[in-house]
Structure 1
Amino acid sequence: MNLGILAHVDAGKTSLTERLLHSAGVIDEIGSVDDGNTQTDSLALERRRGITIKSAVVSFALDDATTVNLIDTPGHPDFIAEVERVLSVLDGAVLVVSAVEGVQAQTHILMRTLRRLRIPVLIFVNKVDRAGARPERVLREIAAKLTPAAVPTGRVTAPGTRTATVHPYEPTAPEFTTRLTETLAEHDDEILAAYVDDRTPLPPARLRDALRAQIARAQAHPVYFGSAINGAGVRALVDGVRELLPAATGSADEQVSGTVFKVERGPAGEQIGYVRLFSGTVRVRDVVTFGSAGRTAEGKVTGIAVFDRGTAGRADAVTAGRIGKLWGLGDLRIGDAVGTPPQGTAEQHFAPPTLETVVVPATPADRGPLHLALTRLAEQDPLIDLRQDDVRGEVAVSLYGEVQKEVVQATLAEQFGVEVTFRETTTICVERPTGTGHAYEKDLEPLLGTVGLRVEPAPVGSGNTFRLEVELGSMPYAFFKAVAETVEETLKEGLYGWQVTDCTVTMTHSGYWPRQSHSHAVFDKSMSSTARDFRHLTPLVLMSALQAAGTRVHEPMHRFRIEAPDGPRSGVAPLLTALARLGAVPRDQRQDGTEWTVEGEVPAAHVHALEQRLPGLTSGEGVLETSFSHYAPTRTAPPPARPRTDLDPLDRKEYLLRVARRVR
């Protein structure tokens, strides 16, 4: 069973992982996050900061028949990309909620995604022994904010004290069977009929079978209470994992199909890929195919390690259902399919980063090592999108937040010996076409070839599409491929320097000068077209078409939810005034007793400012949840622009001069 441990930061994921490993006999002593000696936080930076940055796998025996590969994931929202990669390999998950802080912003995002992906989930309310723990209130929050199908499996006495005790319900306890029956009846007509007709309690075995089936379909979610620190309630959680969550499926005799969810470098710099195998068997010395998004490669597996009962040990093969570490597959990337692509693994579950910053080396001599180091980091985190500016000799990286920036800075210093600083963080916008535009060029000195392109807007969220309106045989396929690839690359920087999205580009004209082929002729570039001609001509034509179509800059918007008290020194009026100044648009506001809830949308560029102002507006009692919502047209004039990093086809004269130098 491949089990994920997920939570908002500081809810106790890593502590729960330590407790589970200790109870299974894998470790003799429970490590502490504060002391920096846990099993899964192995990076020096993780131990020093006390947070999980990289997902980690550790295994233990659940019983004689089942081994659990436990995947501990980061909880801080800046490292949501790590969670993104793990979701596609899970058989089930434990979502940890703090009994003190309750349902937090990241908790809500994680549960919404887990339910959408139909991943079986058990909920563990941790820290019932901490001061301020209110498990009953948290249970109500779970039902209201996460899932109405939450079924408590026990109760807590003396919560918030060191003597807090968890009392699991007996299978026949009325307070358990009544709530369970009502929840199961939502999706089980037989249980509903039995409950409505005579209200006779159903046999515990029947309820257990129905609960297991609905958990597998992500329709029901048992809630366990406990403390990872002192072990209270953890035994009941382990029993729930063993009895209620589905184990891995797939046959070792079928076609190989797996997913790469983590890539790291070994001591000698060799690539090591973490692969969840859904079917088939991969053996040492097997030649396997891997890749994604039109990129296919082949490599020979030179080594395998399999996670099994505590450690990842060397093995001759990894079989369906297991997680293995594979050596020998060069250029392996996170998200690659190994063998046949598994169904549904290409979908992105969370929003991409909306922030960007330029990384500046402390000394100019470190520019080369910096680029190499950032490339290595991008291997491990594909959402760290590198944007190389050859004109200015700069590299920009995309980020989720300021904490991630600090971690990148520390990682570059500690692992690669490169000291860096950062420019001010900016928001990543996108451009969308506002109309239709067409451009056409033929044999533009010094380029031999004909390219005509039409740009049209496409539905929001559809991405970019390249189409042909000319005969595929009108010129060599290599030239069409050059145009298609260059269109994709050129759309990364639109009229204002942002990536252009949601557009359709159609090739309307094509033409080329055939290669000389008569007897004894010497190839003459000045009279023959090459793929380079089309790679240089396409950006000029495409940007002219974009100018004719026009684009509009869109900025990322975050949905927000603020819970704040209504008091003499705080209230909804000052909050609404502050939101208006930040460009936020409240969509809903309601009062429940002495507490206000305000929901709406705010530009991503102002989220940090809102976080800073909220304590002063709410006497320190306001709670803010934010998550990416959509891109909306900017309201500033002129719209924000980003410096270009290419030859700038918008400057036609200068572009052709630079191209001429390259061609010659």
Structure 2
Amino acid sequence: MHLLNLGILAHVDAGKTSLTERLLHSVGVIDEIGSVDAGSTQTDTLALERRRGITIKSAVVSFAVDDVTVNLIDTPGHPDFIAEVERVLGVLDGAVLVVSAVEGVQAQTRVLMRTLERLRIPTLVFVNKIDRRGAGYDRVLRAVADRLTPAIVPMGTVDAPGTREARFRPGIGAYDVLADHDDDLLSAFVEGRVGTDLLRRALVAQTRQALVHPVYFGSAVTGAGIPELITGIKELLPAADGDPEGPVSGTVFKVERGPAGEKVAYARVFSGTLGIRDRVPCGAARTEGRVTAISVFDGGTETRREAVPAGRIAKLWGLADIRVGDALGEPRKAHGHFFAPPSLETVVVPGPDTDSTALHLALTQLAEQDPLIGLRHDEERRETSVSLYGEVQKEVIQATLAEEFGFDVTFRESSPLCVERPVGTGAAVRFNKKDGNPFLATVGLRVDPAPVGSGVGFRREVELGAMPYAFFKAVEDTVHETLGHGLYGWQVTDCTVTMTHCGYSPRQSHAHQRFNKSMSSTGADFRGVTPPVLVEALRRAGTGVYEPMHRFRVEAPADTLGALLPALTALRAVPETTETRGETGSVEGTVPAARLHALEQRLPGLTRGEGELESAFDHYERVTHGNVPFRPAPTRKS
């Protein structure tokens, strides 16, 4: 029996959770299909998920198809919870991307497909809701090829789309796509001798290499196309690999709290075997934790085990310091972030009877489960800010604090989460025991602009042996920490910081002298002198503030575009293309993230309630109009 760790991904409302229910029912895990609207699904277990009818947290459930055990991970579809999807992608062997046969390819669908292809995750596409009015076959297939990827292989056709009688008729097409990657198949295709076996072997090999993506059509409600999809999952996607005898290596993709407040980590084990009572290094600090209990997912239930081998997903107890994204055992090569960071920020305002300290602890617990919440705490102002992907996430945080912690909170109006980038080169230096430098350390730093998206790089122009390595490490760590707040208070990115000068007062080594801290350099000296040197270098370089911009697409009745376009301009949106097809018009362009919520609110009134908006983060753009946004850096009590 082999394992497959499978992700179900989609734009919100494409029917992803309903498909999960139908799969579980079809393989005999559940006797009755749950309903998203009724709040009775297997994977949406949070009360808030059931009430709102959306997936907020990823969930794992297991089922068997003949000799294949599938660990299925249902992920959120709403773009506000893309961070939850990001963590899951790194533990998958394959994926099913769900597209609605009615709405077709949507903004989040494109974001997900680009990421799946970049990570080379083998992916099947399932076009759901073929039984709904307005469902299409040719139209959606063209949209998948045009807007997602041309490397698709239709696995059949649809009879009577848009009716309850809609059925999926299997049959592999698009030989030419497979032939693009297979010379033998191309020769057979040209010579007219393409056989079923040759075609099937090519399809399996190329799907597992993420070169092509089979496309199935069906309905999670009626069950049409589900048997064919299950067969595709079993035969076309690759099995989990990993040596159970190798060194332990795993990744934590989810952390939750148990009934007693204990941390429970969801982890994929890539190598080795992790057992109860084993001690395992965790996270960047490599803090050792001891596993006290293990559960694996099997046959739709959780089963306690003494150990979990490579390839499996498990729940682990006992790792008190664990955080989402931590490595277990030997770290694997990091992929970095798959999606754009949050583009909004808001201040949490405690209710009249809410203790600010207790609220901060509760928010810290939420940040353990979702690191991209990005807490910023200002002790002097007694304010805590959180990062956001959108307004729905704000509502969810508010409801979670009320239901799980009993805290009544509101939020200030969301503001854009900008970044700073150097616009020139600047350098500064402070020398040990000169010009009033209170620290026993010499540090010189130069700041240079770097390519967009490159983050922060740290280099040295001084010899590594010029002073103890711990002092270099103190400078590098402090550089990254200091760049969290630039000249305008925003995180500084896309720059290279080079250490140009170094020096220290060595520890007195004569036998008759005792160590005198006041005369010898310590790491604290380098952590103390680095911030003012770096800030001075930034001042000389100069920085620009860049605000997040979203790419948007609005579809609306063509006769409403005349009112819509001036409204977009008033919101500082930049329409780039306008198109009219019959009675429907569309506008594409960019809009500041800060104005996106206002656009969402105004759209129904401007389009008689018929306008549809898609948006996704696109880029950062320098602020050149009005006052440059300034964010006070958090102050801390001395």
Common fold: TM-score over 0.5: yes
Aligned residue in 2 for 1:168: 169
Matched, 1:490 2:479: no
Matched, 1:319 2:322: no
Look up the equivalent residue of 1:54 and give its one-letter code.
Answer: K
Secondary structure at 2:283's aligned position in 1? strand
Whole-angstrom distance in 1 between the partners of 2:589 and 2:370: 31
C-alpha contact (below 8 Å) 1:105/1:624 kept by paired residues: no
Relative to structure 1, the CA distance from residue 386 to residue 206 in structure 2 (aligned partners, 3 Å threshold; closer, same or farther) is same
Secondary structure at 1:438's aligned position in 2? strand
C-alpha contact (below 8 Å) 1:334/1:381 kept by paired residues: yes
Aligned residue in 1 for 2:357: 368
Instruction: Give, in angstroms, the shift of residue 564 of structure 1.
Output: 4.1
Whole-angstrom distance in 2 between the partners of 1:206 and 1:445: 75
Please, which of 584, 588, 591 is the counterpart of residue 602 of structure 1?
591
Aligned residue in 2 for 1:172: none
Instruction: Give, in angstroms, the shift of residue 188 of structure 1.
Output: 2.2
Aligned residue in 1 for 2:10: 7
Instruction: Give, in angstroms, the shift of residue 593 of structure 1.
Output: 5.3
Aligned residue in 2 for 1:192: 186
Query: For the aligned residues, what is the CA RMSD?
Result: 2.3
Instruction: Give, in angstroms, the shift of residue 519 of structure 1.
Output: 6.2
Aligned residue in 1 for 2:545: 553
Whole-angstrom distance in 1 between the partners of 2:354 and 2:159: 63
Whole-angstrom distance in 1 between the partners of 2:321 and 2:590: 40
Whole-angstrom distance in 2 between the partners of 1:473 and 1:192: 59
Relative to structure 1, the CA distance from residue 512 to residue 461 in structure 2 (aligned partners, 3 Å threshold; closer, same or farther) is same
Q: Which moved more, 1:80-89 or 1:541-550?
A: 541-550
Q: Deviations over 1:487-544 (max 9, x none)?
A: 2111111110001111222233333444556667666555444333332322222212
C-alpha contact (below 8 Å) 2:391/2:597 kept by paired residues: no
Look up the equivalent residue of 2:94 and give its one-letter code.
Answer: G
Aligned residue in 2 for 1:21: 24
Relative to structure 1, the CA distance from residue 190 to residue 562 in structure 2 (aligned partners, 3 Å threshold; closer, same or farther) is farther
Q: Deviations over 1:42-77 (max 9, x none)?
A: 1111111111100000001111x2111010010111
Please, which of 58, 62, 77 is the counterpart of residue 65 of structure 2?
62
C-alpha contact (below 8 Å) 1:260/1:338 kept by paired residues: yes
Look up the equivalent residue of 2:43 and give its one-letter code.
Answer: T
C-alpha contact (below 8 Å) 1:286/1:300 kept by paired residues: yes
Whole-angstrom distance in 2 between the partners of 1:165 and 1:148: 25
Whole-angstrom distance in 2 between the partners of 1:180 and 1:359: 53
Whole-angstrom distance in 1 between the partners of 2:352 and 2:155: 59
C-alpha contact (below 8 Å) 1:154/1:166 kept by paired residues: no
Relative to structure 1, the CA distance from residue 118 to residue 471 in structure 2 (aligned partners, 3 Å threshold; closer, same or farther) is closer
Q: Which moved more, 1:555-564 or 1:466-475?
A: 466-475
Q: Which moved more, 1:215-224 or 1:131-140?
A: 131-140
Matched, 1:270 2:262: yes
Look up the equivalent residue of 2:118 and give its one-letter code.
Answer: R
C-alpha contact (below 8 Å) 2:34/2:42 kept by paired residues: yes
Secondary structure at 1:213's aligned position in 2? helix
Instruction: Give, in angstroms, the shift of residue 24 of structure 1.
Output: 1.6
Relative to structure 1, the CA distance from residue 595 to residue 131 in structure 2 (aligned partners, 3 Å threshold; closer, same or farther) is closer
Relative to structure 1, the CA distance from residue 115 to residue 476 in structure 2 (aligned partners, 3 Å threshold; closer, same or farther) is closer
Whole-angstrom distance in 2 between the partners of 1:503 and 1:153: 47
Instruction: Give, in angstroms, the shift of residue 159 of structure 1.
Output: 3.0
Whole-angstrom distance in 2 between the partners of 1:437 and 1:90: 44
Look up the equivalent residue of 1:194 and give its one-letter code.
Answer: A
Secondary structure at 1:507's aligned position in 2? strand
Equivalent residues in 2 for 1:237-276 (5 A)? 237-276=229-268
Instruction: Give, in angstroms, the shift of residue 640 of structure 1.
Output: 0.6
Please, which of 22, 35, 40 is the counterpart of residue 38 of structure 2?
35
Relative to structure 1, the CA distance from residue 471 to residue 383 in structure 2 (aligned partners, 3 Å threshold; closer, same or farther) is same
Aligned residue in 2 for 1:173: none
Secondary structure at 2:174's aligned position in 1? helix
Equivalent residues in 2 for 1:651-662 (5 A)? none
Secondary structure at 1:479's aligned position in 2? helix
Structure 2's unaligned 5+ residue stretches are none
Relative to structure 1, the CA distance from residue 526 to residue 115 in structure 2 (aligned partners, 3 Å threshold; closer, same or farther) is closer
Aligned residue in 1 for 2:281: 289
Please, which of 399, 418, 441 is the counterpart of residue 407 of structure 2?
418
C-alpha contact (below 8 Å) 1:335/1:346 kept by paired residues: no
Matched, 1:623 2:625: no
Secondary structure at 1:456's aligned position in 2? strand
Whole-angstrom distance in 2 between the partners of 1:203 and 1:427: 57
Please, which of 548, 560, 567 is the counterpart of residue 570 of structure 1?
560
Please, which of 597, 611, 614 is the counterpart of residue 600 of structure 2?
611
Q: Deviations over 1:71-109 (max 9, x none)?
A: 001011100111111111111111112222222221121
Instruction: Give, in angstroms, the shift of residue 358 of structure 1.
Output: 0.8
Q: Deviations over 1:248-284 (max 9, x none)?
A: 1222222322211111122222222111122221122
Equivalent residues in 2 for 1:202-217 (5 A)? 202-217=194-209
Q: Which moved more, 1:408-417 or 1:127-136?
A: 127-136
Please, which of 128, 141, 144 is the counterpart of residue 143 of structure 2?
141
Please, which of 85, 100, 103 is the counterpart of residue 101 of structure 1?
103
Relative to structure 1, the CA distance from residue 364 to residue 537 in structure 2 (aligned partners, 3 Å threshold; closer, same or farther) is farther
Secondary structure at 1:635's aligned position in 2? coil
Whole-angstrom distance in 2 between the partners of 1:149 and 1:460: 29
C-alpha contact (below 8 Å) 1:369/1:418 kept by paired residues: no
Aligned residue in 2 for 1:121: 123
Equivalent residues in 2 for 1:382-421 (5 A)? 382-421=371-410
Matched, 1:466 2:455: no
Look up the equivalent residue of 2:529 and give its one-letter code.
Answer: L
Aligned residue in 1 for 2:332: 342
Whole-angstrom distance in 2 between the partners of 1:186 and 1:449: 61
- The TM-score, its normalising length taken from structure 1, stands at 0.90
Q: Deviations over 1:217-258 (max 9, x none)?
A: 223222222221232221121122112222212222223222
Secondary structure at 1:383's aligned position in 2? helix
Structure 1's unaligned 5+ residue stretches are 170-175, 648-657
Look up the equivalent residue of 1:428 and give its one-letter code.
Answer: L
Q: Deviations over 1:427-463 (max 9, x none)?
A: 0111111112222334436544333322222222221
Whole-angstrom distance in 1 between the partners of 2:22 and 2:517: 70
Please, which of 83, 88, 91 is the counterpart of residue 90 of structure 2?
88
Whole-angstrom distance in 2 between the partners of 1:439 and 1:429: 26
Whole-angstrom distance in 1 between the partners of 2:147 and 2:605: 26
C-alpha contact (below 8 Å) 2:414/2:594 kept by paired residues: no
C-alpha contact (below 8 Å) 2:560/2:607 kept by paired residues: yes
Percent identity over paired residues:
66
Whole-angstrom distance in 2 between the partners of 1:110 and 1:539: 39
Look up the equivalent residue of 1:361 and give its one-letter code.
Answer: P
Whole-angstrom distance in 1 between the partners of 2:112 and 2:24: 24
Q: Deviations over 1:15-42 (max 9, x none)?
A: 1111111122211222111111211111
Relative to structure 1, the CA distance from residue 112 to residue 346 in structure 2 (aligned partners, 3 Å threshold; closer, same or farther) is closer
Please, which of 264, 272, 275 is the counterpart of residue 280 of structure 1?
272
Look up the equivalent residue of 1:168 and give its one-letter code.
Answer: R
Aligned residue in 2 for 1:654: none
Whole-angstrom distance in 1 between the partners of 2:548 and 2:112: 20
Whole-angstrom distance in 1 between the partners of 2:341 and 2:121: 22
Q: How many residues align?
A: 632
C-alpha contact (below 8 Å) 1:470/1:508 kept by paired residues: yes
C-alpha contact (below 8 Å) 2:178/2:203 kept by paired residues: yes
Whole-angstrom distance in 2 between the partners of 1:481 and 1:245: 44
Please, which of 502, 523, 541 is the counterpart of residue 531 of structure 1?
523
Relative to structure 1, the CA distance from residue 502 to residue 149 in structure 2 (aligned partners, 3 Å threshold; closer, same or farther) is closer
Matched, 1:329 2:330: no
Secondary structure at 2:277's aligned position in 1? coil
Q: Deviations over 1:303-356 (max 9, x none)?
A: 21111222121101111211111222231122222223334x432111110100
Matched, 1:230 2:233: no
Aligned residue in 1 for 2:177: 183
Secondary structure at 1:305's aligned position in 2? strand
Q: Deviations over 1:162-190 (max 9, x none)?
A: 3x231423xxxxxx45x332332232232
Relative to structure 1, the CA distance from residue 619 to residue 478 in structure 2 (aligned partners, 3 Å threshold; closer, same or farther) is same
Look up the equivalent residue of 2:588 and give its one-letter code.
Answer: E
